[in-house]
Amino acid sequence: MSDTLPLEYNLAELPSSQHRAGLAGLVLMVRWLKNEPDKKGICEITQIDATSAALNIDRDGYKYLFDKVYGYFLKEIKFKDDETAKNVLQPLGGFLPAYDATNEGNDGIWIKLWRDMYFRVIRPDDKPKHHFKSRIEGKENPEEENLWKNLQKPPKSGSQIKHSLLLGAQSTSAEDVPFKDRPRYQLLLHFWPMVIQTYVPVTWKFDRDRNRELMEDTGFAIIVPDIADLENFCDELPDILRSRGGEVVRYRPKESLIDIAAEGGLDFMLKLNQRLALKSYRQIADLLLGVDVIHLQKPPKSRTIKFWGTARVDPVRPMIDEYARVKEMFNNPLFRKQRMLNVLNEKVWFHGYGRLLSKTDSDQTIGNSVFRGDVRRAFEDFRRVNESKGGNIMDASTKETTLKTVESVVYDLVSTYVREKLRNKYQLEWSKVKGTPDEKKFNEMKGKVARESFLAIRSRTDEDFVEYFVSTLCSYSQFSLKGDGFDLVAGALYDEEKRNQVRTLTMLALSANGCSPKSEKGDIQK
């Protein structure tokens, strides 16, 4: 039996989140290998706690470990245009197929997503795939051999690191200085891809020919957990992976589709937090320092990886709770994306919608029933949250109520304007037309009134907006502007920042009050 090599690690000494994730990946791989029937050599975790782990490994165990990390299979791909087929190299993924509840015949939707991501943006070129190709050819891998030799050297010795092992790093600097890492740290970088979570950020483009939004993915959002509690993280992750759903949208797992890359970090922490909720003595911040989000894409027929950016999402419990509350509430991608940005940036819920409504085709906003429904839902949600905090009820029919927020006052003012204009100009009242043939006419005219004012406000800013707001929207009796309501709106109109908020809220309130049967066609399908 060959001599064993002891390796000890402490989270605090590791230089990056990828190294810390790599330590978790190593622990999970070694745990999984214990039950493999063809296990060879010695490779075992001798100690693990919240902040550290120790490993004993010999030469045969090292080789067996790498054989499993870089296990492969050849998948036959048939091309549509001809009858030829090609065997395409695919990574097995170590322990990941075992934790994919959808996996049957090595073809689960989550492991397929991981494999697609792995060879597109982590190991996209032929050189980083040499670990797999050496096994296809039945040869020893020189890089792995050199790493094993370097592991025998004094702990502080350094060896050059491949840029493919550490995202964001280069093998050499612009001055041709090699990038080095300690061998025992470099070992960990072979395992972090097993622990990362993969999401697919999508964008929506309006197709005028089809009169609908079409979904396009923008690569992959790689979520790297920055681990604070090693033992408990390794205990919880397998159950989180097993709990992922099997619903598919356009060949991707539905749960993987997100509107912005950083949302993937929130979603992963939410899943982890839900697991911890069953154990009252733990919180998300006990297990993670945060997550690093890396957004990468390899466009078709391109050899270049587009690096869209990185983000750091901290385990802030109120932010995660707010994300959990709103993630299933909205269906329109335009509305939902801005709402997610506001959650991540800890902004008020309507922040940024003024620009969105001003720059986007009105057919995609007030002219889209799904968008209008989301706006109504947002105002209703605000009302519930406001009431839970002791605010007054936003109800246009309760004339005695004094509303104490600009959101409530503007929404009530707009609702009254639309209702009163329908009654005075078109002699239409909902209580009289509901359930009658005139209900359709009521909806058409309501949509017309709201859209005309929406377009008028969208083209006005500053004093022009104030003049229109006062002369038009306030032209009917507005009980909601009595008392505090009047002071709130008047004060806001004289302050530039708050005036822009009133303008945004007015366009949103008009969207919530708009209704046109024509706009029910071509709504965005989630």
CB 450 within 8 A of CB 513: yes
Mean pLDDT of the chain: 87
pLDDT average, residue stretch 408-426: 90
Q: Which amino acid is at 5?
A: L
Exposure b/e, 462-487, CB count within 10 A at least 16 = b: eeebbebbeeebeeeebbbbeeebee
DSSP per residue over 160-177, as a string? E--TTTSTT--SB-TT-P
- Count each helix (H run) and each strand (E run) in the chain, helices first: 19, 15
Calculate mean pLDDT across residues 110-117. 96
Q: What pLDDT, on the 0 to 100 scale, is given for residue 157?
A: 63
- Enter the DSSP assignment of 471: I
Summarised one tens digit per residue, pLDDT across range 441-482 is: 898 999 999 999 999 999 999 999 999 998 888 877 654 455
Q: Which residue has the tokens 């197709």?
A: 207
Report pLDDT for 484: 66
Position 495 confidence tier, pLDDT thresholds 50, 70, 90: confident
Give, for 232, the enclosing helix (H) or strand (E): helix 230-242
What confidence score (pLDDT) does residue 481 get? 57
What does DSSP assign to residue 515?
Answer: -
Dmax over Cα atoms in the chain, in whole Å?
95
* Per-residue confidence (pLDDT) for residue 104, from 0 to 100: 84
Q: How far apart are the C-alpha atoms of 316 and 322, rounded to whole Å?
A: 10
Q: Are strands 180-181 and 159-160 parallel, antiparallel or unpaired?
A: antiparallel
What local confidence, expressed as pLDDT, does residue 93 receive? 95
Position 80 scores a pLDDT of: 62
Q: How confident is residue 1, by pLDDT bands cut at 50, 70 and 90?
A: very low
Residue 35's H or E segment, with its range, is none
pLDDT class for 391, splitting at 50, 70, 90?
A: low
Question: Is 50 exceeded by the pLDDT of residue 400?
Answer: no
Instruction: Write down the pLDDT at residue 302.
Output: 80
d(CA 382, CA 374): 12
- Please report the pLDDT score of residue 399 as a whole number: 44
pLDDT tens-place string over residues 151-179: 988 766 666 676 678 887 665 555 555 55
Domain definitions of the chain by residue range: 5-155+184-192, 197-344, 353-520
Top pLDDT among 405 and 125 is at: 405
pLDDT, one tens digit per residue, over 308-366 is 999 999 999 999 999 998 988 999 999 999 999 999 999 999 999 999 999 999 989 99
Decide if 510 contacts 446 (C-beta within 8 A). no
DSSP conformation letters of 298-332: --TT--SPEEEEEEEE---HHHHHHHHHHTTT---
Specify whether the CB–CB gap between 458 and 357 falls below 8 A: yes
Residue corresponding to tokens 């090292």: 62
- The predicted model gives 53-58 an average pLDDT of 97
Pure H helices in 345-398: 353-359, 369-388
- Is 75 a residue whose pLDDT tops 90? no
Up-side HSE of residue 77: CA atoms within 13 Å toward CB? 9
What angle, 0 to 180 degrees and rounded to 10, lies between the N-to-C axes of helices 369-388 and 496-513? 120
H or E element in which residue 479 lies:
none
Q: Is pLDDT above 50 for 25?
A: yes
CB 200 within 8 A of CB 296: no
Tell me the C-alpha distance between 15 and 140, whole Å.
Answer: 29
Q: Which amino acid is at 155?
A: P
pLDDT at position 117: 95
Q: Does residue 17 register a pLDDT over 70? A: yes
CB contact set of 368 (below 8 Å; sequence gap of 6+): 332, 519, 522, 523, 524
Which residue, among 439, 396, 392, 393, has the nearest Cα to 416 in the 3D structure?
396
Model confidence pLDDT, tens digit, residues 268-298: 999 999 888 887 667 899 999 999 999 999 9
| Confidence (pLDDT) at 357 | 96
